[in-house]
Amino acid sequence: MNGADDSYRYCPRCAAPLITAMLGERDRLTCPTGHWTHWDNPLPVLAALVEYDGQILLARNAAWPEKTFSLITGFMERDETPEQGVARELKEETNLDAHSTALIGVYEFMRKNELIIAYHVRAEGEIRLSEELLEYRLIAPEKLRAWRTGTGFAMADWLRGRGLEPEFVDWPGTTANPVTPVT
């Protein structure tokens, strides 16, 4: 798949139109003077499989269809570790405090040119969702179903680690997201 991001037009430093050049064995958009190259590297995304009172908290983003719920996700900030970042995202999006974080694994998400770093996070506190999230559900682990992409693979690995065989489901339609539908 050639999903290269060609949305950049001008050098951010000198405003010259970017040219395409073979760099690092791929065609890249680059400044003809060499100021800047659009490397288009995948962006790390943190994901939290949140355990709360023995259940797993999934939330629905405001941009998603009904009945589609996901892990808590967010981008890393400069000067934080992934563990700090996932705890910060959890606090910002749910008001919960992480009291342990354990890496589940690292997963490709090529469709969005992202790399998912997924943690099992045990959390406590009072749930208050940010405006980004419309609603949440608390689901027993044995009732989870894993989305067949992105964070769904992290959920599946976590379930297998607990001796549960994951059931995968496909996201309806073409705009796949790393979410887990719940019915």
Residues that bind Zn ion (CB under 5 A): 11, 13-14, 16, 31, 33, 35
CA-CA distances (angstroms) from residue 106 to 8, 152, 157, 174, 180?
A: 28, 12, 11, 24, 18
Judged by beta carbon, residue 31 or residue 159, the one nearer Zn ion is 31
Judged by beta carbon, residue 11 or residue 59, the one nearer Zn ion is 11
CA 164-167-168 angle, to 5 degrees, is: 140
Give the shortest CB-34-to-Zn ion separation in angstroms: 7
Judged by beta carbon, residue 35 or residue 99, the one nearer Zn ion is 35
Q: What's the rounded Cα separation, in Å, for the pair 47 and 53? A: 19
Give the shortest CB-41-to-Zn ion separation in angstroms: 19
Judged by beta carbon, residue 39 or residue 75, the one nearer Zn ion is 39
3-class SS of residue 85: helix
Phi/psi for 160 (5° steps) reads -60, -35
Strand partners for 47: 73, 118
Which DSSP string corresponds to 48-73? Answer: EEEEETTEEEEEEETTSPTTEEB-EE
Which residue's Cβ has the minimum distance to Zn ion?
Answer: 11
Q: What's the rounded Cα separation, in Å, for the pair 31 and 28? A: 10
Judged by beta carbon, residue 13 or residue 128, the one nearer Zn ion is 13
Give the shortest CB-131-to-Zn ion separation in angstroms: 38
Give the shortest CB-126-to-Zn ion separation in angstroms: 50
Give the shortest CB-18-to-Zn ion separation in angstroms: 8
